[in-house]
Amino acid sequence: MTCALNTSEPLPAPTLTAREIQILREWVMRDSKSDVATALFITAATVSTHVNRIRLKYAAIGRPANTKAALLARALQDGHIELDEL
CATH code (residue 50): 1.10.10
Is there a contact between 80 and 21 (Cβ–Cβ < 8 Å)? yes
- Give a yes or no: residue 66 inside a domain: yes
Mean pLDDT over 62-74 rounds to: 97
Whole-number Å distance between alpha carbons of 51 and 62: 17
In a domain, 57, yes or no: yes
Domain, as residue range, for 58: 18-85
Ramachandran sector of residue 39 (left: φ over 0; alpha: ψ -120 to 50; beta: rest): alpha
- The single-letter code of the amino acid at 80 is H
Question: Does residue 3 form part of some domain?
Answer: no
Q: Given this model, what pLDDT does residue 33 score?
A: 96
Give 14-33 pLDDT, tens digit per residue: 999 999 999 999 999 999 99
Number of domains in the chain: 1
pLDDT tens readout for residues 74-83:
999 999 999 9
**Domain annotation covers residue 27:** yes
For residue 71, being part of any structural domain is answered with yes
* pLDDT at site 16: 98
Average pLDDT value for the chain: 92
